[in-house]
Amino acid sequence: LNDNPSHYKITLSGTVKSPKINFDPPFLMLMPVPLDVTSETAIIIIPQDYLRQSQIKVEIPELELEDGDRIYPFSVQFPKEQDIVLLPDGTNKELICHIRFRSSKPMSFLGNIFFTDEEEN
């Protein structure tokens, strides 16, 4: 440089990664159980590319039975935490989630339970 008016060009390139969440297992099938008995399973939530802490929110479906009653037979619990945390090595900590189903009336269901972060991803 030393008072030399030469121009220098710097080219930068990069990749933008959007945060996403994966699940293990990728879908859930609970076994049939007698009425008023809880069926439960654990899933692992695998966050990827989160650069700052965020919290997982869950939207549980309300189901309408044949007689018109509306119920929430599913419940979701995070036994430790539901915060997405960035680890020192640049990865995100996995979360454990328990999903339970219980109904006092016979029913079956095929649908979605939605997991979102604080930015609605």
Residue 52 lies in a domain: yes
Q: Are 46 and 97 within 8 A, CB to CB?
A: no
Residue span of the structural domain in which 29 resides = 20-116
What digits encode the pLDDT tens for the residues 63-114? Answer: 888 888 888 999 999 998 899 999 999 899 999 999 999 988 888 888 889 9
Spatial neighbors of 41 by CB under 8 A, at least 6 apart, are: 28, 30, 98, 99
- Which residue is it, tokens 């972060």? 117
Mean of pLDDT values over 55-69:
88
Domain tally for the chain?
Answer: 1
Q: How far is CA 17 from the centre of its chain?
A: 17
Check pLDDT > 70 for residue 5: no
Q: Are 121 and 19 within 8 A, CB to CB?
A: yes
Residue 111 lies in a domain: yes
Mean of pLDDT values over 27-37:
89
The rounded percent of the chain whose pLDDT value lies above 90 is 46
